[in-house]
Amino acid sequence: DGGITQSPKYLFRKEGQNVTLSCEQNLNHDAMYWYRQDPGQGLRLIYYSQIVNDFQKGDIAEGYSVSREKKESFPLTVTSAQKNPTAFYLCASSILGTGSYEQYFGPGTRLTVT
Amino acid sequence: DQQVKQNSPSLSVQEGRISILNCDYTNSMFDYFLWYKKYPAEGPTFLISISSIKDKNEDGRFTVFLNKSAKHLSLHIVPSQPGDSAVYFCAAFRGAAGNKLTFGGGTRVLVKP
């Protein structure tokens, strides 16, 4: 089955610790994205990548870092510099090309930092 | 600067009736508009889209209308079913801006049996 997997579903960390969220896709999509959703709010773009070894900051990149060493994988690290890390994190992917606009989402990871 | 806005945070409708969700945008350069449906603790799933050169797109019970002069789009669900109870996000796509989607804040729909 093709799709996007995110692990774990729930993650708990102590304040001051870095944590890495996993995102893997087997859709052969070129582009991958990380979003954050807070209660009652929409999705805000953290980082995105259109090609291996290249990525760009989204609207709220501060306190986060990413890597794209493989086409299938786009892990997100939430660093201790992120002031409000508790949120629901969503990974997405898409193909690139004229008329390709739909993004496919993973099931999400809920991160709680105390 | 919120380029995509959904001004109604919630909507309650009786089963069998029409649900109308609204979305406003400010950037006239968007190429496509999409609607996503999201259940709690799950990722959004794509519902329907419309090109900026169209004014209507229909798929089964779902119809999206685009009014470019008003920078407004709406999603009609008819008839509404209890399984439609979810949060609906409007999103806008601009290929020239890095193939990114800009999302609205969402509207929570509750369909009462």
User: pLDDT, tens digit, for every residue of A26-81?
Assistant: 999 999 999 999 987 889 999 999 999 999 999 999 999 999 999 999 999 999 88
DSSP code at position A21? E
Q: Cβ contact (<8 Å) for B32 and A101?
A: yes
- Predicted pLDDT at B15: 98
Residues of A within an 8 Å Cβ radius of B: 4, 6, 9, 31, 33, 35, 40-45, 48, 50, 56, 58, 88, 90, 92, 94, 96, 98, 100-108, 110
Contact A57, A64 (CB under 8 A): no
Q: What's the whole-number average pLDDT of chain B?
A: 94
Give the separation between CA A28 and CA A58, rounded to whole angstroms.
22
From the list A96, A102, A107, the residue facing B43 with the nearest CB is: A107
| Nearest-neighbour CA in chain B from A44: distance (Å) | 7
Contact B95, A103 (CB under 8 A): no
Average pLDDT over residues B37-52: 94
**Residue A1: pLDDT over 70:** no
Lowest mean pLDDT, pick from A32-36, A72-76, A92-96, B77-81: A92-96
Lowest mean pLDDT, pick from A2-6, A91-95, A110-114: A2-6
- Predicted pLDDT at A100: 75
- Predicted pLDDT at B98: 73
Average pLDDT over residues B19-36: 95
Sheet strands (E) in chain A: 4-7, 10-13, 19-25, 31-37, 43-51, 54-57, 64-66, 76-78, 87-94, 104-105, 109-113
Average pLDDT over residues B69-79: 97
- Predicted pLDDT at B1: 66
- Predicted pLDDT at A94: 93
- pLDDT tier, B84 (very low <50, low <70, confident <90, very high otherwise): very high
Average pLDDT over residues B59-72: 97
- Predicted pLDDT at B45: 95
User: Which residues on A lie below 8 Å from B41 (Cβ)?
Assistant: 9, 88, 107-108, 110
Interface probe, candidates A101, A104, A112, chain B, greatest B C-beta count within 10 A: A101
User: Which residues on A lie below 8 Å from B89 (Cβ)?
Assistant: 42-43
CA dist A20 → A99, B43, B77 (Å): 33, 19, 39
- Predicted pLDDT at A97: 76
Q: What's the whole-number average pLDDT of chain A?
A: 93
